[in-house]
Amino acid sequence: MLTRRNFNFALLGGASALAAPTIARAAPPALPKLTWATFTPGFVPAFMQHTINRGFDREHGVQLAAPLPYSSLTSYYGDFVAGAFDMCFGSWETFAVRSFGGVPMRYLCGINPGDLLNIVTVSDKIQSLEDLRGKTVAATTTSGTFRLLKGLVQKFYGFDLEKETSIQTVDHPLAGVTLVLADRADAAVTWEPSVTMGMSRNPNLRVLLNMGEAYRKHEGAEMPFLGLAIRQEALDRNPGIEQSLWRIFANGADAMNAEPRKAYEAAASDIGLPPDILIKATESGRLKYRFASMADEADRNAVIRSSRILAEAQGLQRAVDQKFFAI
């Protein structure tokens, strides 16, 4: 029942509410933002875009910027060395060479094992590495991938590609395949998706040597190959961020293995080639994702072991040590 007394209390209560200061809600803290770059054409833009599209970065407290696209490996690695972006995707060996040269960076994680890396040919006369003696081999020598493959081939098979063959330098892995298909090179050192792209143009193109298979045969382990490095200043700017990045990229690798078609079709405009090429590369077993955290001792030791093999073959000035890793 509304009485005079209740009515007066109601008026006082309303006046108090109107007089009370408005308390503004504090804005959520901004997420640390990291920049990175990608290399096209290829699968890397799809991996990066799918990781962002699935929201793995924000889920783990980081904002990943849209990756900057590059089509020249020389410019791609050169700009990372110059500090143009925080993280770079590439061969661990390439990052080791830059680190030895004084570039402040750390290797963060592995994403793709060595099955990506191949020597291809169309010649029926080339059935083994020995058959390459005196032949022309196209290779992207500026990427570090050639040094890695060359060192492993020398260690496993005693065959020195630089001494036994004529190396023709190209600036993109697909360019080497193109030279093979045009009969301007006898073989090419290349990696996916260039292998599958070449096979789609000429079914006679075949793999002479798959480095992932060779590594398992000789080492009994997965071959470390492609992964992510991060600039030291980005780590200093965001203490502990490597913990979040490991979770982000582990989720990204799992998602790529679980739904490759969805990822490649969604990134069709970024990967620079038909999604079916990447699906076929996946089905071949050459394109796959295996996250390897450098916080894991076994995964770190796998990279260290590969670096020792390369150093013994004089493809690397020395083996990497614990200071090379973001841990």
Residue 192 has pLDDT above 80, yes or no: yes
Residue 144 has pLDDT above 90, yes or no: no
pLDDT in tens, 291-321: 999 999 999 999 999 999 999 988 889 999 9
> In this structure, which amino acid lies at residue 249?
F
Residue 27 has pLDDT above 60, yes or no: no
What is the bridge-based pairing of β-strands 187-191 and 136-139?
A: parallel
Rounded CA separation 117/226 (Å): 10
Helix axes 92-100, 297-312, angle to 10 degrees: 70
Is the four-CA dihedral 216, 45, 320, 300 of positive or negative sign? Answer: negative
* 12 — pLDDT class (breaks 50, 70, 90): very low
Going by C-alpha positions, the residue among 147, 204, 142 that lies closest to residue 172 is: 142
What is the bridge-based pairing of β-strands 136-139 and 105-113?
A: unpaired
Q: Count CA within 13 A, CB hemisphere, residue 115.
A: 18
pLDDT in tens, 68-102: 999 888 899 999 999 999 999 999 999 999 999 99
Tell me, what's the pLDDT at 143? 67
Going by C-alpha positions, the residue among 28, 25, 143, 54 that lies closest to residue 93 is: 143
Residue 9 has pLDDT above 60, yes or no: no
* 25 — pLDDT class (breaks 50, 70, 90): low
> In this structure, which amino acid lies at residue 242?
E
Largest CA distance in the chain: 109
Domains and CATH numbers, the chain: 33-113+223-324 (3.40.190.10), 116-219 (3.40.190.10)
Q: Phi-psi region for residue 43, left (φ > 0), alpha (ψ -120 to 50) or beta?
A: alpha
Residue 189 has pLDDT above 90, yes or no: yes
Going by C-alpha positions, the residue among 203, 195, 199, 159 that lies closest to residue 176 is: 195
> Residues 289, 112: contact at Cβ < 8 Å?
yes
> Residues 140, 73: contact at Cβ < 8 Å?
yes
What 8-state DSSP symbol labels residue 82? T
Residue 204 has pLDDT above 60, yes or no: yes
What long-range pairs does 282-286 form, CB within 8 A, spacing at least 24?
284/195, 284/196, 285/115, 286/115, 286/116, 286/118, 286/192, 286/195, 286/196, 286/207, 286/210, 286/212
pTM: 0.85
Tell me, what's the pLDDT at 140? 86
More confident residue, 179 or 11: 179
